[in-house]
């Protein structure tokens, strides 16, 4: 664990690591995961032709050339978008955009919840707590209240809406959901991450926006948490926030609209934060990297995935699920790590196998969750 202590000393962030670990008398289980994407799927080559064709003459030649290069990169093959047809993205007004965010965040969240409940053999009336996170749009009241109506949830269900956690938001949501589950009568909570990244679409010669337009897609994911043994036991978690690095990855408002801002050295900052939080989590359980059978990493882009892999010393074979999700969906922000976890669960795990979920994003923040494959009693 030498790397952990090196990073925390150098960056003076030791006190910012939040730990949730130790032996639990009443463990909580991540029983099932459901995911959803909008039906419009665009391959990268087609997406590149549409975008560069529309903005040729508007963007600088070097920006067009960079877009063509990025769209041609083999790490992403497809992305899904919450649009009826691609050209809608270029003509919608601000009111249209928030209406589209509202429509699709509710629709995709609903689909993901129903899938997760079906997998867990539960019904909507079993839900006692619902927690939703997003960073790609703001509505008041939040998404959760629309889901109560759409799914016919009980009117006294405990609901919470979380905003502003960026790509790493699924794990803080999961931490809160776990805490709530332990206090519920029957102990059934649903954690939902829903992002319509296309609702923040902007184009200029800014390098952050050029990269973003080749990377992000839309999607939602839901996890059912229960005290009933089965699925994955939540063993522990760790989170770290480095607020002085917030400008390296964030949304900024310009003329009342969200613009994605990414440092071109983001991989260096993320790898250090990710390694620190993982090593802190594993140290609390007297584990090493070699003890973890499965890794569900957020698909932050190939450069970041490679940086985190190298910093942690992971074998490339451990990243097959992450690579596959990046290829098929791109980066959907916070739900993406659940897409990876779901793929790993479907491929099969042995009882007591350990898995680390790892996500990172705005803040700058990094979050890790330790899971153990459980047997159903």
* Structural domain contains residue 336: yes
Residue range 228-256: mean pLDDT, rounded: 92
CA distance 110 to 292: 32
* pLDDT at position 99: 97
Cα–Cα distance, 349 to 344 (Å, whole number): 8
Helix (H, G, I), strand (E, B) or coil at 372: strand
Mean pLDDT over 184-203 rounds to: 93
What's the pLDDT at 24?
Answer: 64
Tell me whether residue 129 is in a domain.
yes
Q: How many domains does the chain have?
A: 2
- Report whether pLDDT(354) > 90: yes
Band of residue 14 on the pLDDT scale cut at 50, 70, 90: very low
DSSP-based three-state secondary structure for 190: strand
Q: What is the CATH number of the domain that holds 58?
A: 3.40.47.10
| Residue closest to 258 by CA, chosen among 202, 335, 300 | 202
Grouping H, G, I as helix, E, B as strand and the rest as coil, residue 40 is strand
Contacts of 89 (CB under 8 A, 6+ apart): 81, 83, 198, 201
Q: pLDDT tens for residues 278-294? A: 999 999 999 999 999 99
Which of 226, 242, 261 terminates a domain? The answer is: 226
**Is 70 exceeded by the pLDDT of residue 17?**
no
Q: Which residue in 214, 320, 223 sits closest to 262, CA to CA?
A: 214
292 domain-assigned: yes
Task: Mark whether 50 and 159 lie in a shared domain.
Answer: yes
Full residue range of the structural domain in which residue 140 is found: 34-226
If asked whether residues 78 and 134 sit together in one domain, one would say yes
Structural domain includes residue 218:
yes
Both 58 and 103 in one domain: the answer is yes
pLDDT in tens, 114-149: 999 999 999 999 999 999 999 999 999 999 999 999
Domain finish residue from 204, 226, 248: 226
> Residue 256: is its pLDDT beyond 90?
no
**For residues 87-91, average pLDDT:** 94
Q: State yes or no: pLDDT of 6 exceeds 50.
A: no
- Using 50, 70 and 90 to split pLDDT, how confident is the model at 4? very low
Q: Write a three-state SS string for 154-172.
A: CCCCEEEEEECCHHHCHHH
Q: Are residues 57 and 204 in the same domain?
A: yes
């Amino acid at each position: 664990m030498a790397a952990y202590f090196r990073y925390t000393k150098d960056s003076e962030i030791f006190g910012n690591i939040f730990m949730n670990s130790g032996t639990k008398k009443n463990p909580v289980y991540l029983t099932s995961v459901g995911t959803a994407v909008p039906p419009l799927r665009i391959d990268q080559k087609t997406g590149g032709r549409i975008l560069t064709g529309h903005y040729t003459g508007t963007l600088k030649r070097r920006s067009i050339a960079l877009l063509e290069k990025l769209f041609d990169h083999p790490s992403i093959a497809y992305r899904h978008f919450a649009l009826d047809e691609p050209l809608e993205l270029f003509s919608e007004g601000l009111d249209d955009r928030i209406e589209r965010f509202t429509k699709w965040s509710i629709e995709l969240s609903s689909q993901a919840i129903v899938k997760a409940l079906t997998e867990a053999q539960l019904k909507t009336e079993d839900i006692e707590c619902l927690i939703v996170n997003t960073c790609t749009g703001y509505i008041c009241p939040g998404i959760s209240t629309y889901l109560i109506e759409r799914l016919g949830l009980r009117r006294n269900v405990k609901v919470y809406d979380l905003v502003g956690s960026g790509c790493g938001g699924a794990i803080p949501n999961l931490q809160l959901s776990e805490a709530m589950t332990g206090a519920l009568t029957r102990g059934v909570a649903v954690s939902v991450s829903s992002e319509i990244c296309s609702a923040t679409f902007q184009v200029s010669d800014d390098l952050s926006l050029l990269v973003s337009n080749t990377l992000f897609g839309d999607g939602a994911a839901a996890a059912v948490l229960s005290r009933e043994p089965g699925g994955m036991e939540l063993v522990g978690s760790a989170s770290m926030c480095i607020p002085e690095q917030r400008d390296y990855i964030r949304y900024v408002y310009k003329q009342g609209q969200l613009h994605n801002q990414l440092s071109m050295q983001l991989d260096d900052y993320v790898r250090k934060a990710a390694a620190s939080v993982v090593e802190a989590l594993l140290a609390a359980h007297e584990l090493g990297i070699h003890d973890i059978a499965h890794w569900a990493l957020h698909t932050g882009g190939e450069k970041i995935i490679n940086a985190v892999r190298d910093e942690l010393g992971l074998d490339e074979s451990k990243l097959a699920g992450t690579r596959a999700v990046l290829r098929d969906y791109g980066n959907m922000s916070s739900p993406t790590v659940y897409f990876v976890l779901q793929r790993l669960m479907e491929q099969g795990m042995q009882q007591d196998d350990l898995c680390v979920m790892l996500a990172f994003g705005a803040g700058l923040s990094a979050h890790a969750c330790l899971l153990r494959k459980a047997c159903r009693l």
